[in-house]
Amino acid sequence: MNRRRQALVSTNKRIVSIVDDELDHTILFHDALCSRIKDISVVSFSDPVIALDHLTDNKETYALVISDLRIPRLSGLELLKKVKGLNPKVRTMLTSAYEFENDKVFRQYMNQGIIDEFIQKPMTMTCLCREVNNQIHAHQLAIKKY
């Protein structure tokens, strides 16, 4: 698969990005979000560096980045920190199957607002969609303040 073509894409307005090296997860999340949430474009990446390139090129239209914690080349924590550096208004959500809520860096990033939400895997698609809706609403409120 070509480097630029590692994403499933739907076409609407605000961009929600899913970054996970497990292809099954990206497909499942992509399909759930596209079928249940209106007025978003969903892009899915298995490579966090390519995801970051896409955000850099489209940072004004991004609403949310959902990242797995353990992904190759750039951890989910590092990715979300870079996302906030590029556009602090973009909401961020971290997912993981691992217990790490007591991790010092994770706690620091939560307190600093680098990570806006955390969801433990496995999760239901209802839970995922509810949290994505919450984050999109928070993004809209932040945009209206400016």
Which tokens in the block code for residue 59? 């940072």
When pLDDT is averaged across residues 33-60 and rounded to a whole number, the result is 95
Amino acid of residue 118: F
Q: 80 with 67: CB under 8 angstroms?
A: yes
What's the pTM value of the predicted model, to 2 decimals? 0.88
The domain total for the chain is: 1
Instruction: With CA atoms as reference, report the closest residue to 33 among 122, 131, 111.
Output: 131
Q: 113 with 87: CB under 8 angstroms?
A: no
Q: What is the pLDDT of residue 6?
A: 44
Report the percent of the chain where pLDDT is more than 90.
80
- Domain enclosing residue 20, as ranges: 3-145
Strands (E), 14-122: 14-19, 40-45, 62-68, 91-96, 117-120
Which tokens in the block code for residue 126? 């209802």
Confidence check: pLDDT of 99 > 90: no
Confidence check: pLDDT of 2 > 60: no
Average pLDDT across the chain, whole number: 89
pLDDT band at 13 (very low <50, low <70, confident <90, very high): confident
Q: Could you tell me the end-to-end alpha-carbon distance of the chain, in angstroms, rounded to an integer? A: 40
Q: What is the pLDDT of residue 35?
A: 94
Q: CATH code at 66?
A: 3.40.50.2300
Which tokens in the block code for residue 35? 């079928």
